[in-house]
Amino acid sequence: MKEALEILTSDEARELFAKSIKPGKETMFLQVASDDSTTAPAQHAYAVLKAQATKAHSLRLAQLAATVRSAKSGHFDKVIASINTIIQNLKDEEQADVDKRDQCKDTYTEIESTVKDLSWKIKKNEAKIDKLEKLIAMHTEEKLKTIEEIAAVTAQMEAMTKQRNEENEAFLAAKKDDQDAIALLEAARDALSKYYKKNKIEMGPIQGSVKGALVQKPFAVSEDQAPDATFSNKGSRKNETKGVLQLMTMLIEDLQDEIKNEMKEEEETQLEYEKEMAAATKLKEELIEKKVNLEETIAKRDQDRTDEHKDMGVNMQEKMDELDYKAKIKPDCDWIIGAFKERETARAAEMNGLLTAKEYLAGAKVPSLLQKSKFNDEALSSIKFMGMK
């Protein structure tokens, strides 16, 4: 290009051009198109836009190419403005794609992290619920066993009370019998001793300490000897009567001793019963308290289980919401992530076509080497030969 300019702008060339170019005749010095130099940039811009529109499958470049083709020669300001608008739109689209891709990737990462965390929480919920259910089952079994123990102690206490009542009734009946017997013996003894007291016959002290019955034989000498037919006086039988009184006294004392022994035994039995009943009552109270504590523990564990189920339900719902949201954005996100490179390449092709077309159209505004009467060195040196054929 430099060498050609030197040839065309030499003094000899200037002189030759002055002789060959007739005055008043417009002659094109350099041609950038085969027919009309003012339409060549538009044709190049059209060709570039059409080629890139086909390559990138871009409707807007195709529309712009049609606009360039139909634009009047030399009036490309509006077309260039449209190109600038489309270039800015491409830049905006590129930034939007980057933002959308990054947002989708960040959202996918956040959802994955949240879902993992919720899944871990749900497993913890399930483990705690399982533990609580085992504790509830264990405490429930212990409670049932405690109820059985309470029933057994209650039955034992009832049996002890029944036995004690029966023993006491037997004691009272025996005591009454002994007392009645004593009263009967005392009445008989009083009747016998009344005769001797009335007749003032002294019988001496009545002994009742000798055990066993006093056997009185009717014949003191011999069984074969006939009794004395002589009538005795009023005190002749006092010794025999005394023996009977002593026997009665002995029986009365034995019965009284028996009553005392039975009362002592009854007292001991009652004390033993009361001791056993106190122990049984204490045991029953402890078992009842244990049952109440177990019921409270079971209720607390049951509430904990309910709360854990509720918490797990919240975690499961949140996990489902995250997965639903991912499913909702997945078509758009997968598309932008998958098509990002392709769209980037297509935009680059569009951008290249637009910039090239813009350069062609902007070049059309540069003065050509059309000279009427005088050669313009400055115009020649500023000409761009990019579109020259």
- What is residue 9's three-state secondary structure? coil
Q: Please indicate, yes or no, whether residues 21 and 127 belong to a single structural domain of this protein.
A: no
Q: What percent of the chain has pLDDT over 90?
A: 48
Q: Which residues pair with 370 in a beta bridge?
A: 28
Q: What integer pLDDT is reported at residue 110 of this predicted model? A: 96
Q: Please indicate, yes or no, whether residues 79 and 193 belong to a single structural domain of this protein.
A: no
Q: Please indicate, yes or no, whether residues 107 and 133 belong to a single structural domain of this protein.
A: no
Q: Please indicate, yes or no, whether residues 139 and 192 belong to a single structural domain of this protein.
A: yes
pLDDT at residue 232 tops 50 = no
- Whole-number Å distance between alpha carbons of 48 and 65: 8
Domain that holds residue 14: 2-115+350-382
pLDDT grade for 49, boundaries at 50, 70 and 90? confident
Domain membership of residue 339 (yes or no) is no
- Whole-number Å distance between alpha carbons of 226 and 245: 27
Q: Please indicate, yes or no, whether residues 315 and 291 belong to a single structural domain of this protein.
A: yes
Q: What is the per-residue pLDDT across 328-341, written as a single tens digit (0 to 9) for each?
A: 999 999 999 999 99
385 contacts 1 by C-beta, under 8 angstroms: yes
Q: Please indicate, yes or no, whether residues 101 and 160 belong to a single structural domain of this protein.
A: no
DSSP letters spanning 52-93: HHHHHT-HHHHHHHHHHHHSPTT--HHHHHHHHHHHHHHHHH
Name the least confident of 57-61, 246-250, 261-265, 322-326: 57-61
- Whole-number Å distance between alpha carbons of 136 and 301: 6
Name the least confident of 60-69, 316-325, 347-356, 375-384: 375-384
DSSP letters spanning 320-336: HHHHHHHHHHHHHHHHH
240: which 2 tokens? 């025999």
Question: What distances in angstroms separate CA 193 from CA 140, 200, 241, 244, one per listed residue?
Answer: 78, 10, 8, 10
pLDDT at residue 344 tops 80 = yes
Q: Please indicate, yes or no, whether residues 132 and 111 belong to a single structural domain of this protein.
A: no
Q: What is the per-residue pLDDT across 361-372, written as a single tens digit (0 to 9) for each?
A: 776 544 343 333
pLDDT at residue 387 tops 60 = no
Number of domains in the chain: 2
Which residue, 315, 332, 329, 337, is CA-closest to 116? 315
Q: Please indicate, yes or no, whether residues 98 and 184 belong to a single structural domain of this protein.
A: no
Q: What integer pLDDT is reported at residue 53 of this predicted model? A: 72
Q: Please indicate, yes or no, whether residues 67 and 109 belong to a single structural domain of this protein.
A: yes
| Ramachandran assignment for 200, one of left (phi > 0), alpha (psi -120 to 50 degrees), beta (any other) | left
- The DSSP 8-state label assigned to residue 57 in this structure reads T
Domain membership of residue 24 (yes or no) is yes
Domain membership of residue 336 (yes or no) is no
